[in-house]
Amino acid sequence: MKRVTIKDLSKFLSLSTSTISRALLNDKNIHPETQKRVLQAAERLGYKPNSTALNLKYGKSKNIGLVVPEMITPFSSKVLRGIQNILDPLGYRVIITQSDENPLIERKNLKLLEEFNVDGIIINLCHESFNEEVYRELINHELPMVFFDRIPGKSLNVSKVIVDDQIKASLVVEHLINTGRKRIAHIMGPLTIRNVTERANGYKRILEKYDISDPDLIIQTDGMTFEHGRRAVQELLNKKIPFDSIFAFSDTLAIGAMNYLHEQHIKIPQEVAIASFSGTELATIVHPQLTTVQQPLEKMGETAAQLVVEKINNKLSPEQTIVMDTELIYRASTLSE
Amino acid sequence: MKRVTIKDLSKFLSLSTSTISRALLNDKNIHPETQKRVLQAAERLGYKPNSTALNLKYGKSKNIGLVVPEMITPFSSKVLRGIQNILDPLGYRVIITQSDENPLIERKNLKLLEEFNVDGIIINLCHESFNEEVYRELINHELPMVFFDRIPGKSLNVSKVIVDDQIKASLVVEHLINTGRKRIAHIMGPLTIRNVTERANGYKRILEKYDISDPDLIIQTDGMTFEHGRRAVQELLNKKIPFDSIFAFSDTLAIGAMNYLHEQHIKIPQEVAIASFSGTELATIVHPQLTTVQQPLEKMGETAAQLVVEKINNKLSPEQTIVMDTELIYRASTLSE
DNA sequence: ATGAAAGCGCTAACAA
DNA sequence: TTGTTAGCGCTTTCAT
């Protein structure tokens, strides 16, 4: 069953293709009667505009590329949802690529998206500097780019959507202190991610303020999986470093840690309280539920999408950094019953 | 920075566009010397083929639509990964749409994908019959479709990728019996999903075989979220129906149930053992880890992708139903230490 | 109000 | 071996 084109309609109605096009586009230069006939015929023959032809005509692909480190946790999914809220009604399609936390794959993805003629890129990067030159190149090619969550270093002038990492990290740690914790460990992610440093700074600031800091309490991981969280807390225990609570960079790391604690029959929160950053259901499907800084992921996606669209429609629109509000949510993992 | 086209190269080298095209395509009818010059110029000017033009030319979009009920659990993400393994190297882009378990949204998504000229659709449906007419229509339009996981009723002759639901459900239940359980509850999903019935049949078969069935033990949910699982077990407890184990349709339902049990301080697996179907990390990030039927999700995605590609390349290739092998994995949620 | 024709970037007959 | 031309489906000047 071949697709019906304007040409088919033109033959069918013995009208020129331009007239058909005008009728379809609601042009003023069209007789109402003619338009009615065209519309009816279009309906009857099942005419569907060919978006490829339009894209060629207008020099756009109506594709937006999304680059994320992974899609295994619901983090990226929720952001995607927000992105689609904005982009779907505008007729954009979203092409998703996963970097697997590997900057080389990320680079390949970016190149691929450029090949694919995407009109813009929304990216959550996996290394704050490794691909800086690639980002710069794409931007020079006038490809609109918006970064969210994990953003590149200051030297790149781009639009970003982030959260108030440091402040909220401080608040979390302060909450642990307020609930009587004194030996607060921190499970960091890799240093190649800007938020990792930000959140760690928030943590350090408070521990120093209360004069309870101890470098032994900071465990640096070289990855972001459940397994990394697990190994971090294992390390603390093996080194016999006493601790009564954990602030983890992400819910993934936190949950990994929780699991190991469970296996060791260490009670949460009685013996060890635990808190982290999240924004997904992950925080509520574990037991006990995790105290977290709730990031407005869907809203972040929407905001990022709005920024790309803005940039696509107006190449001169200025770069913006939008800091989203987060909410600290207290749950059972830090509250004794 | 405007994109460099073949025309630009043609001017730059004083050659016809067709010669340029030939050089780029490695045509035999081209002087090696000329080809070298073209390739060098292309490299120097940064030429990138315009995929939109190609798609128009060849009447393809090189887009494949993916329709899934949700992306919040890692289920769809893992399948997507498999799909991309196959499709990325072939130059296909994957457009993702989420139905939110709502057949009306699913229908809208399908219509949208058709508008978008996708070359094929891979779908995990959310109601086994509601949109049957839409599927049929798309198939009549010669749009290649492959169903996976949740498939439509028998009356539709389409390619499918599924697992051996009934058999494996039986094995799970038999495992529960072998570990001494006698009052085995079943948390079903909605009856509008074929696998739900399949797995329930497997469950019933075994309970009848051992003559321990009891209709009270079957809880029918009207959704698939954590919350539904939670409420199902709540219902069992409220009705004071005694049970010593649960077989849940999915890990999502199982985890929801686990959480409620935890809150009621009911010990898993000592007081209640629990098992389900999965294939994602969800089963291992909860405590205790869940005994599940591990579905090869990535492989399922790959298989589905291969089937669409096959169908795209040859409209006449026959419909196939591929049953993937699953593995029953015993974990702490059914094994007392 | 309608039609003819050009053009978006590319490929593939057909000529030369 | 290279060039000319038409055409994929659509919109948009420019004529009529």
pLDDT, one tens digit per residue, over A119-145 is: 999 999 999 999 999 999 999 989 999
CA of A272 to C1' of C2 (A): 80
Across the interface, do B56 and A56 touch by the CB < 8 Å criterion? yes
Instruction: State pLDDT tens for residues A83-112.
Output: 999 999 998 999 999 999 999 999 999 998
Rounded to an integer, what distance in angstroms lies between the CA atom of residue A313 and that of residue A120? 11
CA-based nearest residue to A152, from A131, A122, A121: A131
3 state SS of A318:
coil
Sequence letter at residue B146: V
Ranges of beta strands (E only) in chain A are 63-68, 93-98, 120-123, 145-148, 159-163, 184-188, 218-220, 245-248, 273-278, 291-294, 321-324, 327-329
**For nucleic chain D, which protein residues have CB less than 7 Å from any of its atoms?**
A 3, 5-7, 17-18, 21-22, 24-25, 47-50, 53-54, 56-57; B 14-19, 22, 28-31, 33-34, 53, 56-57, 59
Rounded to an integer, what distance in angstroms lies between the CA atom of residue B63 and that of residue B91? 9
Rounded to an integer, what distance in angstroms lies between the CA atom of residue A108 and that of residue A129? 16
Across the interface, do A93 and B255 touch by the CB < 8 Å criterion? no
Q: What is the mean pLDDT of residues A188-208?
A: 97
In this predicted structure, the answer to whether residue A312 has a pLDDT above a threshold of 90 is yes
Across the interface, do B93 and A95 touch by the CB < 8 Å criterion? yes
Instruction: State pLDDT tens for residues A16-37.
Output: 999 999 999 999 999 999 999 9
Which residues on A lie below 8 Å from B140 (Cβ)? 1
**Residue recorded with tokens 């409420």:** B231
Q: B157: Cβ under 7 Å from strand C?
A: no
Rounded to an integer, what distance in angstroms lies between the CA atom of residue B5 and that of residue A311? 24
Cis peptide before B144 (omega within 30 of 0): no
CA closest to D13 C1', residue? A18
Q: Is any Cβ of chain B less than 8 angstroms from the Cβ of A211? A: no
What pLDDT was estimated at residue B1?
57
Using a 10 angstrom Cβ sphere, with 0-12 exposed, 13-18 middle and 19 or more buried, the burial of residue A84 is buried
What pLDDT was estimated at residue B337?
58
Instruction: State pLDDT tens for residues A138-154.
Output: 999 899 999 999 999 98
Q: Is any Cβ of chain B less than 8 angstroms from the Cβ of A109? A: no
Across the interface, do B255 and A285 touch by the CB < 8 Å criterion? yes
Strand C nucleotides in reach of protein CB atoms, 7 A cut-off: 1-13
Q: Is any Cβ of chain A less than 8 angstroms from the Cβ of B77? A: yes
CA closest to C8 C1', residue? A57
Separation in Å, CA of A74 to nearest CA in chain B:
5
Range B165-294 classified under CATH 3.30.230.70:
no
Q: B53: Cβ under 7 Å from strand C?
A: yes
Rounded to an integer, what distance in angstroms lies between the CA atom of residue A290 and that of residue A246? 11
> Considering chain A, what percentage of its residues have pLDDT values greater than 90?
93
In this predicted structure, the answer to whether residue A328 has a pLDDT above a threshold of 80 is yes
Rounded to an integer, what distance in angstroms lies between the CA atom of residue B9 and that of residue A73? 46
Rounded to an integer, what distance in angstroms lies between the CA atom of residue A232 and that of residue A222? 10
Per-residue pLDDT of chain B (337 residues; tens, 9 = 90+): 578 999 999 999 999 999 999 999 999 999 999 999 999 999 999 999 999 999 999 999 899 999 999 998 999 999 999 999 999 999 899 999 999 999 999 999 999 899 888 999 999 999 999 999 999 999 998 999 999 999 999 889 999 999 999 999 999 999 999 999 999 999 999 999 999 999 999 999 999 999 999 999 999 999 999 999 999 999 999 999 999 999 999 999 999 999 999 999 999 999 999 999 999 999 999 999 999 999 999 999 999 999 999 999 998 999 999 999 999 999 999 997 5
**Phi, psi of A196, rounded to the nearest 5 degrees:** -55, -50
**Phi, psi of B271, rounded to the nearest 5 degrees:** -90, -40
Separation in Å, CA of A160 to nearest CA in chain B:
23
| Fold type of domain B6-49 | 434 Repressor (Amino-terminal Domain) (1.10.260)
Q: pTM score, two decimals?
A: 0.93
CA of B139 to C1' of C14 (A): 38
CA closest to C5 C1', residue? A18
- Which nucleotide is the nearest neighbour of B38, by CA and C1'? D2
3 state SS of B26:
coil
Q: Average model confidence (pLDDT) for chain A?
A: 95
Which residues on A lie below 8 Å from B115 (Cβ)? 48-49, 51
Structure tokens at A241: 């470093």
Across the interface, do B50 and A117 touch by the CB < 8 Å criterion? yes
Task: Identify the DSSP state of A223.
Answer: -
Compute the half-sphere exposure of residue A13: CA atoms within 13 Å on the CB side of its CA.
25
Rg (CA), chain B: 26
CA of B197 to C1' of D8 (A): 48
CA of B24 to C1' of C14 (A): 21
Yes or no: say if A193 and A150 are a contact pair by the CB < 8 Å rule. yes
Cα torsion for A50, A56, A59, A64, to the nearest 10°?
50
Which residues on A lie below 8 Å from B78 (Cβ)? 72
Rounded to an integer, what distance in angstroms lies between the CA atom of residue A172 and that of residue A329? 9
Q: Which of A74, A142, A255 sits opposite B72 (nearest CB)?
A: A74
What pLDDT was estimated at residue A1?
56
Structure tokens at B229: 């699982």
Strand bridging mode B245-248 / B184-188 = parallel
Give how far Cα B66 sits from Cα of A75, A132, A227, B43, B125, Å: 19, 32, 30, 35, 10
CA closest to D8 C1', residue? B57
Q: B51: Cβ under 7 Å from strand C?
A: no
What pLDDT was estimated at residue A337?
58
- Which nucleotide is the nearest neighbour of B29, by CA and C1'? D1
Structure tokens at B288: 């205790």
Separation in Å, CA of B114 to nearest CA in chain A:
9
Q: Describe the strand order of the beta sheet including B184-188 as a list of residue ranges.
A: B218-220, B184-188, B245-248, B273-278, B291-294, B327-329
Q: Is any Cβ of chain B less than 8 angstroms from the Cβ of A74? A: yes
CA-based nearest residue to A252, from A228, A233, A288, A284: A228
Task: Identify the DSSP state of A290.
Answer: P
**Residue recorded with tokens 């498939």:** B151
Same fold, B59-163+297-325 and B165-294: yes
Report the CATH number of the B59-163+297-325 domain: 3.40.50.2300
Among B282, B287, B333, the strongest candidate for a mutation testing the A interface, having the largest count of A CBs within 10 A, is B287
Q: Which of residues 11-50 of A touch strand C (CB under 7 A)?
A: 14-19, 22, 28-31, 33-34
Structure tokens at B14: 């004083």
CA-based nearest residue to A170, from A196, A201, A210: A201
In this predicted structure, the answer to whether residue A2 has a pLDDT above a threshold of 80 is no
Q: What b/e sequence results for A224-245 when a residue is b if at least 16 CB atoms lie within 10 Å of its CB, and e otherwise?
A: bbbbbbbbbbbebbeeeeebbb
Indicate the pLDDT class of residue A117, thresholds 50, 70 and 90.
confident
Across the interface, do A80 and B74 touch by the CB < 8 Å criterion? no
Q: Which of residues 46-85 of A touch strand C (CB under 7 A)?
A: 53, 56-57, 59
What pLDDT was estimated at residue A72?
87
Domain boundaries, chain B: 6-49, 59-163+297-325, 165-294
Rounded to an integer, what distance in angstroms lies between the CA atom of residue A93 and that of residue B8? 29
